[in-house]
């Protein structure tokens, strides 16, 4: 939780999206699904990846439509904060859903979900080392690489409390 998965995914998206024919970053899947429903998320994914307006998904069979419309497209799809296997199955199915060279990046707190979906290449985001965390915290708090005079102890306590995630 709060280890920078979404931030890292956004950086990757911004860095490489120009290399793909279609791209979409589906933010906070878990919460968006509760608020908007599956069909709405599937429509957003299709509309964004195909760069078209308001693609309507009839009868909630968006999975078939996504596969049919994107299967020839080199796409970059990012699914952020996925927490159920069914979400992956309905939003990113299998590798045959997307064209050659496509990439699907999934952020989740549940590594077993990725394993269950057959995702072999996984990356675990880890916290920073104490020195790196203190430097980042100091840059954000003071605009310097080191804490201001008299603040070293309190900054060290904050960084220690955050377990290597000084911006959490």
Could you tell me if residue 125 is inside a domain? no
74 and 157 in a single domain? The answer is no
36 and 106 in a single domain? The answer is yes
Q: What separation in angstroms does the CA of 66 have from each of 29, 72, 124, 145?
A: 16, 11, 28, 47
Q: Give the count of domains, the chain.
A: 2
101 and 154 in a single domain? The answer is no
Could you tell me if residue 167 is inside a domain? no
Q: What is the CA radius of gyration of the chain?
A: 19
pLDDT at 59: 60
Per-residue confidence band for 164, with pLDDT thresholds at 50, 70 and 90? confident
136 and 67 in a single domain? The answer is no
- CATH number for position 31: 3.40.50.300
pLDDT at 58: 64
64 and 138 in a single domain? The answer is no
- Write the pLDDT tens digit of every residue in 32-68: 999 998 888 888 888 888 877 666 666 657 777 787 7
Q: At what angle do helices 62-70 and 38-50 cross, to 10 degrees?
A: 10
Per-residue confidence band for 103, with pLDDT thresholds at 50, 70 and 90? very high
Who contacts 130 (Cβ-Cβ below 8 Å, separation ≥6)? 156, 159, 160, 164
57 and 134 in a single domain? The answer is no
- Write the pLDDT tens digit of every residue in 20-35: 998 999 999 999 999 9
What values do phi and psi take at 120, rounded to 5? -90, -35
Q: Is the pLDDT of residue 17 over 80?
A: yes
The terminus-to-terminus CA distance of the chain in angstroms comes to 9
81 and 152 in a single domain? The answer is no
Query: What is the residue range of 87's domain?
Result: 5-116
154 and 77 in a single domain? The answer is no
- Write the pLDDT tens digit of every residue in 115-156: 888 787 887 777 778 888 888 888 888 998 998 889 999 989
For the whole model, what pTM was predicted?
A: 0.75
Of 44, 16, 14, 12, the C-alpha closest to 29 is 44
96 and 50 in a single domain? The answer is yes
107 and 146 in a single domain? The answer is no
Per-residue confidence band for 15, with pLDDT thresholds at 50, 70 and 90? very high
Could you tell me if residue 124 is inside a domain? no
Among the residues of the chain, which ranges form H helices?
A: 5-16, 29-36, 38-50, 62-70, 85-92, 111-116, 130-142, 152-161
Q: Is 108 exposed, middle or buried (0-12, 13-18, 19+ CB in 10 A)?
A: buried
Q: Are 134 and 156 in contact (CB under 8 A)?
A: yes
111 and 157 in a single domain? The answer is no
61 and 99 in a single domain? The answer is yes
Per-residue confidence band for 13, with pLDDT thresholds at 50, 70 and 90? very high
pLDDT at 121: 83
């Amino acid at each position: 939780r709060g280890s920078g998965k979404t931030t890292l995914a956004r950086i990757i998206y911004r860095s490489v999206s120009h290399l793909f024919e279609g791209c979409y970053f589906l933010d906070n899947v878990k919460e968006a699904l509760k608020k908007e429903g599956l069909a709405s998320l599937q429509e957003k994914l299709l509309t964004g990846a195909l760069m078209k307006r308001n693609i309507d998904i009839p009868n909630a069979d968006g999975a078939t439509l996504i596969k049919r419309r994107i299967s020839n497209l080199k796409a970059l799809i990012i699914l952020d904060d996925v927490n159920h296997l069914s979400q992956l199955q309905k939003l990113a199915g299998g590798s045959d859903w997307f064209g050659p060279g496509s990439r699907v990046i999934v952020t989740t707190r549940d590594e077993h979900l990725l394993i269950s979906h057959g995702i072999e290449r996984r990356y675990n985001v880890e916290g920073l080392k104490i020195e790196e965390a203190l430097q980042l915290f100091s840059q954000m708090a003071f605009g310097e690489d080191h804490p201001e005079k008299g603040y070293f102890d309190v900054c060290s306590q904050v960084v220690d409390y955050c377990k290597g995630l000084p911006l959490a």
